[in-house]
């Protein structure tokens, strides 16, 4: 989300959390417009589950992980890293969170290795690169990952996966290696995850609906090849459906992170409710193909 809007939302969350009471939404489920069918939802905690989520396969039995303002360590906040986006985990168990500051020329990827050790990899912005660090998605091969900027964009950024790719080091700048060139613009993408080596599913918080004829769409991006960092690839973008927008409160929803859990073939997307209901009926929706 935009930096100023994100700061206002975080302030509101902290205030609402002190006084809110539980409410239940009663609107019926929306039908899927494609092969992704809604099968249920879970309440999303506004402080710890409001930015992103990822399934974790290693170690076996590990819990799925979420991000929100309440998951940012105090030590990071004190150094200005006050926004965390949608995380991802590699198939071998490396867990990665994208961070941004309110200003400056860097963004950061915080990595936890399978042995529990944390490392920070800082990236200096390329020419024309936005400061936003909204999400990260590790390619199935593990050596390369994608990251995204907020706003209206016609590209995704390719990086070597920190702590996995041998070319990376916490002591050195994490360079952008290549670009995914999209065949049409996308707006306010809050998360992406790989469905296969050449297909991504992305959650868009687009409030206007002018790009695909709908607001808050679930997007599919088909790549010309799995990113390998050696050259740019192209991406064909398709809008699959509008994500569910149901709450006891009227107002503007915010679509957040996305995760595809290949173990259960389940897609999950966080949708934060408007106003007071940010606390009471924000949800993580579950979808399956069928």
Of the two residues 26 and 147, the one the predictor is more confident about is 147
* Domain enclosing residue 247, as ranges: 3-20+32-289
For residue 234, which phi and psi values (nearest 5 degrees)?
A: -105, 160
Beta bridge partners of 84: 99
> In the prediction, which pLDDT does 61 show?
86
> In the prediction, which pLDDT does 16 show?
39
% pLDDT > 70, the chain? 88
Domain-embedded: residue 203: yes
Across the range 56-73, mean pLDDT stands at: 94
Domain-embedded: residue 130: yes
Across the range 283-289, mean pLDDT stands at: 97
pLDDT score of 13 more than 80: no
Across the range 61-77, mean pLDDT stands at: 96
**Contacts within 8 Å (CB) and 24+ apart, 60-63:** 62/93
Domain-embedded: residue 26: no
pLDDT score of 212 more than 70: yes
pLDDT score of 52 more than 60: yes
Domain-embedded: residue 271: yes
pLDDT score of 27 more than 50: no
Instruction: Provide the Cα torsion 279, 97, 107, 16; round to 10°.
Output: 10
CB atoms within 10 A of CB 106: 17
pLDDT tens across 144-183, in order? 999 999 999 999 999 999 999 999 999 999 999 999 999 9
Domain-embedded: residue 115: yes
CA torsion sign, 235 to 241 to 244 to 249?
positive
Quote the CA–CA distance of 36 and 169 in Å, as a whole number.
39
Domain-embedded: residue 25: no
% pLDDT > 90, the chain? 86
Beta bridge partners of 217: 242
pTM of the model: 0.88
CATH number of 225's domain: 2.120.10
For the chain, the average pLDDT equals: 90
Distance of CA 219 to the CA centre of its chain: 13
pLDDT tens across 224-265, in order? 999 999 999 999 999 999 999 999 999 999 999 999 999 999
Tell me the pairing of strands 233-242 and 178-187.
parallel
> In the prediction, which pLDDT does 1 show?
57
Quote the CA–CA distance of 272 and 255 in Å, as a whole number.
6
> In the prediction, which pLDDT does 32 show?
33
Going by the DSSP 8-state scheme, the letter that residue 57 receives in this structure is -
pLDDT-based confidence at residue 25 (cuts at 50, 70, 90): very low
> In the prediction, which pLDDT does 21 show?
32
State how many domains the chain has: 1
> In the prediction, which pLDDT does 173 show?
98
> In the prediction, which pLDDT does 60 show?
85
Domain-embedded: residue 27: no
């Amino acid at each position: 989300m935009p930096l100023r809007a994100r700061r206002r939302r975080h302030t509101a969350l902290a205030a609402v959390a002190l006084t809110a009471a539980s409410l239940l939404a009663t609107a019926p489920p929306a039908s899927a417009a494609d092969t992704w069918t809604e099968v249920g939802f879970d309440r999303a905690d506004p402080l710890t589950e409001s930015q992103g989520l990822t399934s974790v396969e290693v170690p076996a039995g590990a819990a799925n992980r979420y991000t929100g303002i309440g998951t940012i360590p105090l030590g990071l906040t004190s150094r200005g890293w006050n926004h965390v986006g949608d995380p991802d985990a590699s198939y071998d168990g490396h867990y990665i969170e994208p961070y941004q500051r309110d200003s400056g020329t860097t963004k950061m990827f915080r990595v936890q290795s399978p042995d529990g050790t944390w490392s920070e990899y800082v990236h200096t912005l390329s020419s024309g690169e936005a400061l936003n660090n909204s999400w990260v998605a590790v390619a199935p091969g593990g050596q390369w990952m994608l990251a995204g900027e907020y706003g209206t964009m016609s590209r995704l950024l390719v990086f070597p996966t920190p702590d996995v790719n041998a070319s990376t080091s916490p002591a050195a700048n994490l360079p952008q290696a290549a670009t995914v060139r999209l065949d049409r613009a996308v707006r306010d993408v809050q998360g992406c995850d790989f469905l296969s080596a050449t297909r991504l599913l992305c959650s868009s918080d687009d409030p206007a609906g002018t790009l695909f004829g709908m607001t808050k769409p679930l997007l599919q991006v088909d790549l010309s090849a799995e990113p390998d960092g050696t050259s740019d690839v192209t991406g064909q973008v398709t809008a699959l459906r509008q994500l569910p927008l149901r709450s006891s409160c009227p107002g503007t929803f915010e679509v957040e992170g996305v995760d595809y859990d290949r173990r259960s073939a389940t897609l999950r997307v966080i949708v934060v409710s408007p106003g007071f209901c940010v606390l009471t009926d924000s949800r993580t929706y579950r979808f399956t193909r069928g």
